[in-house]
Chains A and B, each alone.
Chain A
Amino acid sequence: MRAEYINPFVAALENFCEMMLDCKVERGKLKLANSALEIEHPEVDQAFAKYDITALIGLSGKARGTVALLFPAKTALMITRRFLETDKIFKIDDTVIDAVAEMVNIVAGSAKRQLSDELGLIKLSLPTVVRGRNFEIKYPTGSVWLQIPFNSTLGPFFMQVSFEKIDE
């Protein structure tokens, strides 16, 4: 995976947070990983790394890959509250799951727009959300993941992207 391919995803994430959450994000250091949940950022403390909810979406067409957003439960709650303009969400429920699914859909979709104009049409799968910490995602086989930690006024979270251009 070429490192510059992550830039449209980072820009899309920052744009989403600003436009739909009225939230500024601060990105941490980019790191390579062999799987989606191998989080070993030296600057990330253990509390940061306690992700509970992972929203995933697949890319196909002229490129293949996966975009994952990983959230601690509290961050997911805070994002959902801001997204829906309500304080009446107190636990991880279907509303929160749907909100983070839509977030990864919008972020991946925005990046896809730029990448499709460069590489040809890229398609998105429907998003999937996984709860819990004891799992690992390694698809596609042999893929390399780029991971970036973010901090925001709504809490910390991670973005991880695996992306390969399909050569014909």
Chain B
Amino acid sequence: MKILIVDDSTTMRRIIKNLLIKSGYSDILEAGDGQEALEVLEGNTDVGLILTDWNMPRMTGIDFVKKVRGDERFGRVPIIMVTTNTSKVEIIQAIGAGVNNYIAKPFTPGTIKDKIEQTLKQMAS
């Protein structure tokens, strides 16, 4: 399964990528903001999961999620928001935009694996 990581921090992309590899995922794509992520998706319409940050330059994660959900090709792709924006108001906003699950930064290594499994299970049922 192809997984797309969207984060303007190369550090965070590298950490998440390493955790995904340790969890057995190997087909991993990266983008540094929402705009770049849309371009990556154009060439990879078979992406099976998206992990995205919220605060990014050019196009924020929330705007990216809205664009993805507005494209029928990606309407069912699970999206997990990995962010520090975890106040109640922000979580409600993210869910409204189409996010399926939420990971608060900072996180432990096990959190990424657990949330992915939980999200994929929910989407399959």
Give the B-binding residues of A (Cβ under 8 A): 15-16, 19-20, 80, 83-85, 94-95, 98-99, 101-102, 105-106, 108-110, 112-113, 116-117, 121-122, 124, 126
Judge whether B125 is part of the interface by a CB distance below 8 angstroms: no
At the interface with chain A, which of B4-12, B36-44, B65-73?
Answer: B4-12
The answer on a CB contact under 8 Å between B89 and A116 is yes
Report A-chain residues with C-beta under 8 Å of the C-beta of B15: 20, 83-84
* Interfacial residues of chain B within 84-109, with CB under 8 A of chain A in the complex: 84-90, 104-108
CA of A108 to CA of B88, assembled, Å = 17
Q: Is the CB of A85 within 8 A of B18?
A: yes
Cβ of B104 and Cβ of A19 under 8 Å apart? no
Is the pair B9, A113 in contact by a Cβ cutoff of 8 Å?
no
* B57 interface contact, C-beta 8 A: yes
- Contacts A110-B106, A124-B55, A126-B57 given; indicate if A116 touches B87 (C-beta within 8 A): yes
- List the B residue with the shortest CB-CB distance to A106: B105
Q: Known contacts being A83-B11, A83-B15, is A113 close to B84, with CB within 8 Å?
A: yes
| Residue in B8, B18, B85, B87 whose beta carbon sits within 8 Å of that of A117 in the complex | B87
CB of B83 within 8 A of chain A? yes
Count of interface residues, chain B, beta-carbon cutoff 8 Å:
23
Instruction: Tell me whether A98 and B83 are in contact in the complex, defined as CB-CB below 8 angstroms, given that A83-B15, A126-B55 are known contacts.
Output: no
Find out whether the CB atom of B55 lies under 8 angstroms from the CB atom of A113.
no
Whether the pair B86, A113 counts as a contact (CB closer than 8 A) is yes
Tell me the minimal C-beta distance from B107 to chain A in angstroms.
Answer: 7
- Whether B107 lies near A105 (C-beta < 8 A) is no
CB distance from B93 to the nearest CB of A (A): 10
Residues of A within 8 A of B85 (CB): 109, 124
Q: Do B90 and A121 touch (CB < 8 A)?
A: yes
Q: Do B90 and A108 touch across chains, with their CB atoms under 8 A apart?
A: no
Chain B nearest CB, measured from A88 CB (Å): 12
- Asked if A112 and B10 sit within 8 Å, CB to CB, the answer is no
Q: In the complex, what residue of chain A is closest to B111 when comparing beta carbons?
A: A19
